[in-house]
Amino acid sequence: MNIINSVPSLRENLKEEREKGLTIGFVPTMGYLHEGHLSLIKKAKESSDIVVLSIYVNPTQFGPNEDFDAYPRDIERDVQLAVDNQVDYLFHPTSETMYPIGTGMSVSVSERVDQLCGSKRPGHFDGVATVLTKFFNIIQPDKVFFGLKDAQQVAVVEGLIRHFHFPVELVACPTMRENDGLAKSSRNVKLNHDERAEAPTLYKGLQQGFLEFKKGEHDPRQLEQVILHYFKEHLKHGVVDYVQALSYPELAINVPVKNKVILACAIQYENARLIDNIIIDIDQPFVGE
C-alpha cells in the first residue's frame, strides 16, 4: 500500500494507474476505521481495480462548538487496517494540503439541507461538498463509496455530482451495525458505559416507526410521534436532537411520500452526537433495513 500526503504525488500515481486502463474506486473517510468503513472498502475492491482511501478530518465541516479537536484519531491503527483490507493508496493529507490558500472559496449547498443534520449543523454540508469537490478533482475516481448511515450526506453528494457534472458514480452502501443494533460509528468510543448500554435505543425507536409503517400508518408526522414516544420512554441519558420522517432522497417535509421514506434521528450524549436512520422503500416495505 502507498501512503501519500501530497496532491502531485497522488495525481502522478493515479495517472499511471489510469494509463494502464485500471478503474479507480474512492472511499472518503475521517479515519478511526471500523467495520462500516471496511464494508465500503470491500465494496470498492469488488468493483474497482484500484482503491483509494482518504483519511482526513475536515475542519470546514465542523461547527465552532462541535467535536473537531476531540474527534477520535489513530492513524497507525488505520494504516494497519487499510493494509489488511488491501487498500492500494491511502491519502492522508494535512489541512495545509487540502486548503493551501485558505478557505476563501467554498461550495454552497442549499438543496436537501433544510432538514435533519443540515438544519442542526449550519455549514456542515458546505464543508462536506467543498472537501469532496477537492477530492474529486484530485483523485478523479470512477466510483465513490458512501454509507447510508449518513443518508443525508448520500442525498447531498448525489446532488453535488449532478449539479457539477462530476464524472463519478455514487455507490450507496448499507449501514453496518453492532450485534445489538447500534450503528457502527467512530464516535461510539466517546460513549460512557451507561450511554453505550442505552445507545441501541436509537435503532429500536426507528424500528418502532418502521413497524407502524408496515401496519399501514403512512403519515410521516404520526411515524415521528411513534418514534418520539419510544425515545421518551427509553432514553435516560441521551437527549433527542431530532426525529423526522421525510421523503428520500429529496428530504422534503410536506410533500406526499412517494417512493422512499427515511425515518431518521439524532441523539445527543455527553461527548457524542449519534445519528441513525431507516430508509423504507414504499413498494417493498418488507425488505427495508
Is residue 26 within 8 Å of 10, Cβ to Cβ?
A: no
Distance CA 283, CA 277 (A): 18
Which is nearer to ligand AMP, 175 or 226 (by Cβ)?
175
Q: Quick one: which of 235, 230, 234, 260 has its CA closest to 245?
A: 260
- Least Å distance, CB 43 to ligand AMP, is 10
Distance CA 80, CA 77 (A): 5
Q: Is 62 helix (H, G, I), strand (E, B) or coil?
A: coil
Set 34, 37, 92, 193: catalytic member: 37
- Least Å distance, CB 61 to ligand AMP, is 9
- Least Å distance, CB 154 to ligand AMP, is 7
Catalytic site residue 229?
no
- Least Å distance, CB 182 to ligand AMP, is 9
Which is nearer to ligand AMP, 61 or 208 (by Cβ)?
61
Which is nearer to ligand AMP, 184 or 237 (by Cβ)?
184
Distance CA 171, CA 264 (A): 20
Distance CA 244, CA 206 (A): 10
Residue with cell 502507498: 2
- Least Å distance, CB 148 to ligand AMP, is 7
3-state DSSP percent of the chain in helix, strand and coil, to 5: 45, 20, 35
Q: Which residues bind ligand AMP (CB under 6 A)?
A: 29-30, 36-37, 39-40, 146-147, 149-150, 173, 175-176, 183-186
Q: Do the strands 169-173 and 273-281 form a parallel or antiparallel pair, or are they unpaired? A: unpaired
Torsional sign, CA 174, 157, 255, 258: negative
Which is nearer to ligand AMP, 31 or 205 (by Cβ)?
31
Is residue 170 within 8 Å of 158, Cβ to Cβ?
A: yes
Which is nearer to ligand AMP, 147 or 209 (by Cβ)?
147
Residue with cell 484500484: 50
Q: Which residues are catalytic?
A: 37
